[in-house]
Structure 1
Amino acid sequence: MTVPRILIVGGGYVGMYAALRLQRRLRRELARGQVRITVADYDSYMTYQPFLPEAAAGNIEPRHVVVPLRRVLRPCEILSGRVRSVSLADRTAEFRPHEGPDYTIHYDYLVFAPGSVSRLLPIPGLTEHGIGFKTVEEAIHLRNHVLLKLDVAASTTDERVRRRALTFVFVGGGYAGVEVLGELEDMAADACRSFEGISRGDMRWVLVEASDRILPEVGPDMARWTADELRRRGIEVRTRTLLRSAENGHIVLSDGQEFDAETLVWTAGVKPHPLSCSGDLPLDEKGRVKVTATMRIQGTGFAFSAGDVAAVPDLTRPGEFCAPSAQHAVRQAGRLADNVVATMKGRPCEPYAHRNAGSVASLGLYKGVAEVYGYQVRGFPAWFMHRTYHLMRMPTFNKKSRILMDWTLGLLFPREIVSLGAFQRPRAEFEAAARTSAPTRP
């Protein structure tokens, strides 16, 4: 008798939380070997993205914002590598491990949740000079990069080099862009006290947003307050403005502004993971997987999808779809897992319905903005709500404790201002030594 296999493609919000729910609901079946759960993802960890801005600012140790899948999903099979394609017709997925030959995974039930990737535009110079902000690796790189630019500015006598190094451009005025900008500006303002000859006013921070306001996730009043707060800190907020070019670090904006900058952070939206196009999944005009209100992939009785990659109907707003947010993804994962179990046991599935409770965002240490159940909160209370909410949502008591310890130590000691740039090229020193080593005579 063949043991039924549940294949979960993606170990992010939906993938990990769905697997957690499944291993609880199917605890007895897993112990008896009557079911098999396989999680396939390129990384063997889940990144809690709402804490990435704080990790980039040095408020949280980067290792503490990731959850190892092998530790929290012990009854599950974890495969590290890249799923190349998924077929609904024959219930298979082509998998490429990090090393070794490709092979085919046969499944009985599918949870398709690879998430999203950055939505790039054909802007000259963007690919060469832009930095994304979706992974912990990008957060670490961005922190090191900003601190390195402060080092460069403090060590040069060339005013042009100094001005270029101290100019930081962020494209995209949603929560991701505003949060990382607010946290990094706050970190850099704190760090520049240790750099002789650099003050907060010497740095130039620019936020570029194509629409008529930032933070579309909140109401107009709260968005205006946030823009005014950023401007009060000396940050340039340019709405109804596009990035035209970034070739050779020369920034050209649609409002006529041109200047040089060595830091360009791109947070202007996401798009469904390209894996959705690699098989026979039904897609809508935006490349999202078509699913029913029960998150079952249209035309199937065994496959499910949710999160950023899926067009999940929003039953609280007829005719619309759920926003690609962590709040929806975590809740969708639980309902999806319950529906997988119901399908396995021949029971009816239940639709997903959740009214968005609101949003919270940090703008730096002790500064924040929040809109919860229609109530607007700003300043320290909003910042405290942001930390409290996401600490409660962080998986595992281990990670919660470590993050809380990071925050406690941050109250007692100043932030580290060391740029460990060698993380980007850890073998550079070794290779340089090899090039300069004189050959020995036999």
Structure 2
Amino acid sequence: MGDTPGRGVAGTKRRIGRRRTIRILIAGGGCAGTAAALHLQRALRERLRRGEAEITVVEPQAYFTYHPLLAEVAAGSIDPRHVVVPLRRVLPDCRVLTARITRIEHAARRALADAAGPGEPPAPVELPYDVLVVAPGSVSRTAPVPGLAEHGLGFSTVGEAVGLRNHVLEQLDLASATRDPALRQAALTFVFVGAGYAGVGALAELEDMARTAVRGYHNVRAEDLRWVLVEATGRILAEESPELARHTLGELRERGVDIRLSTTLESAADRVVALSDGSRFGARTLVWTAGVRPSPLLRATDLPLDTLGRVRCLATLQAVGPDGRALPGVWAAGDCAAVPDPNADGAPCAPNAQHAFAQAELLAR
């Protein structure tokens, strides 16, 4: 098939012989999947309308969420409607299937999906394809920390972002109303675990929002709020340059944020935060943003994965087999793909939106 997307598609067309329609299946409607579909839709519009090609996008949600703006949603800076885009509206020439892919059998060129809604009986769907784009993204990485499941707050959906904003404002109300000093202190303590883009962005936006909101309380001051950022590694913003990370670290500390590097969360039982550095304190807000892991769907495929469970890829975004050669008819992009970064001596690209959008454009070409 060769190492270029162009030769790959041509080879696929030759293989399918007399059949006119080339079936392209995009597994996932996040940054990478939606962007790839947009570029392909634009490039193949005439062929799509003549029935020579077909693009099917399979995504459990009927919309695309732009995750980098969730921090602004949490702070109320932008309306939640502005970070979600209905897939059918932006992909009019594609077939959009609201379903969850349960298995991919690339050897047989087919995927299996479940189109049932929550609480409904299974509705299995079989999706044969000629060309596969794997882009199911990632899910939050959790840890078996006591109390985390009961008291931890996620930050990966619009609903969670809005819920976090409401929760923070409720804590200000509670602190203002209570006469219990310990409860007041716990209500005004906000802990974020994970200092990547999500954790740093959410903390910074909410700290700014809360600093403004306390002006409406006669007995709560901005100085009463305690913001704690916990990071297991020795630096924040591992995806960014050391210079930018150091600048951001200084800005946060200047704003009074308590940053604990090389520190992990040991327990959150009974709303008492216990850290690996030995400190313990009450906190009624615990936000978990400690990284992501590839979509579990990848384990239900016959595609080659790396040690972290991502699809192994060439720089062309084509999946690569054990022999180091491109697998015919399959590409991957986004958080689920181990794509060598030319600016990082071949180390895999960081799982962020910037890389996902750039990879999607290259993949489509």
8 Å contact 2:317–2:333 — kept in the other structure?
yes
Q: Secondary structure at the match of 2:319?
A: coil
Partner of 1:302: 329
Equivalent of 2:359 in 332, 344, 352: 332
For structure 1, the 5+ residue unaligned runs are 339-442
Partner of 1:42: 60
Equivalent of 1:81 in 99, 103, 120: 99
Q: Distance in 2 between matches of 1:222 and 1:282?
A: 35
What pairs up with 1:105-116 in 2 under 5 angstroms?
A: 105-116=127-138
Q: Secondary structure at the match of 1:302?
A: strand
Q: Secondary structure at the match of 1:320?
A: coil
Partner of 2:281: 259
8 Å contact 2:315–2:339 — kept in the other structure?
yes
Partner of 1:321: 348
For structure 2, the 5+ residue unaligned runs are 1-18, 322-326
Moved more, 310-319 or 64-73: 310-319
Is 1:70 matched up with 2:88?
yes
Partner of 1:92: 110
Shift of 1:219: 4.1
Q: Distance in 2 between matches of 1:328 and 1:226?
A: 21
Partner of 2:3: none
Q: Distance in 1 between matches of 2:343 and 2:82?
A: 35
Partner of 1:238: 260
Partner of 1:126: 148
Q: Distance in 2 between matches of 1:171 and 1:309?
A: 23
The CA deviation string for residues 237-293 of structure 1, in whole angstroms up to 9 with x for no partner, is 111211111112110011111011111111111111111101211111111101122
What letter matches 1:92 in structure 2?
R
Provide the TM-score with structure 2 as the length reference. 0.89
What pairs up with 1:106-255 in 2 under 5 angstroms?
A: 106-255=128-277
8 Å contact 2:226–2:257 — kept in the other structure?
yes
8 Å contact 2:334–2:359 — kept in the other structure?
yes
Q: Distance in 1 between matches of 2:345 and 2:239?
A: 19
The CA deviation string for residues 377-422 of structure 1, in whole angstroms up to 9 with x for no partner, is xxxxxxxxxxxxxxxxxxxxxxxxxxxxxxxxxxxxxxxxxxxxxx
The CA deviation string for residues 42-87 of structure 1, in whole angstroms up to 9 with x for no partner, is 1111111111111110000011011111110011111112111111
What letter matches 2:80 in structure 1?
P
Partner of 1:342: none
Partner of 1:52: 70
What letter matches 1:310 in structure 2?
A
What letter matches 2:31 in structure 1?
Y
Q: Distance in 2 between matches of 1:114 and 1:7?
A: 12
Q: Secondary structure at the match of 1:283?
A: coil
Moved more, 310-319 or 107-116: 310-319
Structure with the greater relative contact order (CA < 8 A, sep ≥ 6): 1 or 2? Answer: 2
Q: Secondary structure at the match of 2:78?
A: coil
Provide the TM-score with structure 1 as the length reference. 0.74
What letter matches 2:78 in structure 1?
I
What letter matches 1:157 in structure 2?
R
> Root-mean-square deviation (CA), in Å?
1.5
What letter matches 1:159 in structure 2?
P
Q: Secondary structure at the match of 1:20?
A: helix
Residue identity over aligned pairs, in percent, reads: 54
Cα pair distance change 1:222/1:295, threshold 3 Å:
closer
Q: Distance in 2 between matches of 1:275 and 1:140?
A: 28
What letter matches 2:105 in structure 1?
S
Cα pair distance change 1:185/1:316, threshold 3 Å:
closer
8 Å contact 2:310–2:338 — kept in the other structure?
yes
Shift of 1:220: 3.9
Aligned residues: 338
Partner of 1:439: none
Shift of 1:175: 2.2
